[in-house]
Amino acid sequence: MKLPAIYYSPFFATDGGLCSCSPDMIDQYRRAAGYIDRILKGEKPADMPVQAPAKFEFVINLRAARLIDLNVTAGVVSMADHVIKYRVSAAQSPWTASLRC
């Protein structure tokens, strides 16, 4: 069965999924640092507002689209933050590279 799916993490698109739409994790970490700073300065966590993600990342895997005979328009490709055109190994993935210490 050829069934397209949208995943919640760019790792799935890298591993062969069609596409992913997820919060930008680097932006999330920056925003968390702001919360930590406010807590260390004495603000009560209960008084702090909950913030929704402000920045999202869209990844599309054109190789997966070709395998299920899905035509992806140039407009959709231009909206993507990352476009995967060929098989990507874990060593080449920008997401695993950013997680290495």
Please report, for the chain, the start and end positions of each structural domain, with discontinuous segments joined by +.
Answer: 24-56, 60-101
> For residue range 38-75, what is the model confidence (pLDDT) as tens digits?
999 999 999 999 989 999 999 999 999 998 888 999 99
pLDDT at residue 75, rounded to an integer:
93
pLDDT at residue 88, rounded to an integer:
59
In the predicted structure, residue 2 carries a pLDDT above the cut 70: yes
Average pLDDT in the chain: 85
Alpha helices in the chain (DSSP H): 10-14, 25-40, 62-67, 74-79, 94-99
pLDDT at residue 14, rounded to an integer:
86
Q: How confident is the model at residue 92 (pLDDT cuts 50, 70, 90)?
A: low
Question: How far apart (Å, rounded) are the C-alpha atoms in residues 69 and 2?
Answer: 8
pLDDT at residue 44, rounded to an integer:
95
